[in-house]
Amino acid sequence: MDNNTKALIIGGIVAVLLVGGLWVLSNTELFSGTENPSQNNGTILQNNKEKGTLVLSITDAAVDMGTISAVSMTIDKVYVHSKAQGWVTVLKAPQSFSLLTLKSSGRAALLAKIDIAADTYDQAWLHISNVTITEAGKVKEALLPSNDFKMEGSIKVENNTNSIAKFDILADQSIHKTSKGEFVFAPVIKFESRINATISFDSNNFVTISDGNLVSSTTAGMNVDGQVKTNFQLDPKKELEIKNGVIEIK
């Protein structure tokens, strides 16, 4: 199975990271979280709670970007938040995606699949550990304003149902270049969630989603300070520079 296409299904929720459109299935344990997920004690959610299935998918609807031939992103942690449970870990192992491969395929990659407590989750948190960009045959590591992308978005999970959360990474709106040829990746992500979805996987673990009731749809972007704002995109006309590892607007 290609490591560039992965997805996560969470108890009652299917979370799909759509990056270039590939899906890969990965099983993972679901752990309860605290306000600081890094301090999660690994306690498994109680078995007596009603659960549903959550699927996370990644895709990329980016347009042509000239001399850029590849964009690779690694996500090593994903959390969802509810008022009742706090932060819940849904992914704790690195998953890598080729965004432009997903784009050209027009399909979605399965990031994870897991059973999760029936609840209403109001935020999602992606930890992006690395982004590399290949331009004119040379691979360069892009600098992110922050590795943590935390956005608002409702995910509803009901007992014995499938829910899907889709993260569409808009690479063409996220990539910026300094006058020195350095790359900045300020993520712009379109989020959509549905409940009671029909989900199928083919022999290559590509995911097809149909039906389902729309719960939430929103787009958010990151500024140079690492803050995530709804309906935001870093102005492509702004000239950026990197000083001592810090991104600044000239």
* Cβ-based burial of 49 (10 A; exposed 0-12, middle 13-18, buried ≥19): middle
Q: What is the pLDDT of residue 16?
A: 53
pLDDT digits (tens, 9 = 90+) for 87-126: 999 999 898 888 888 888 877 887 877 889 999 999 999 9
pLDDT digits (tens, 9 = 90+) for 38-74: 444 333 343 446 888 887 777 654 434 788 999 999 9
Cβ contacts of 98 within 8 Å, gap of 6 or more:
4, 19, 20, 22, 70, 71, 72
Which is higher by pLDDT, 29 or 215?
215
Domain edges within the chain: 7-65+73-129+148-174+185-236
150 — pLDDT class (breaks 50, 70, 90):
very high
The candidate with the shortest Cα–Cα distance to 128, out of 148, 153, 102, is: 148
C-alpha to C-alpha distance for 192 and 173, rounded to whole angstroms:
18
**pTM listed for this prediction:** 0.80
Q: What is the pLDDT of residue 73?
A: 94
pLDDT digits (tens, 9 = 90+) for 110-119: 787 788 999 9
Structure tokens at 170: 């808009």
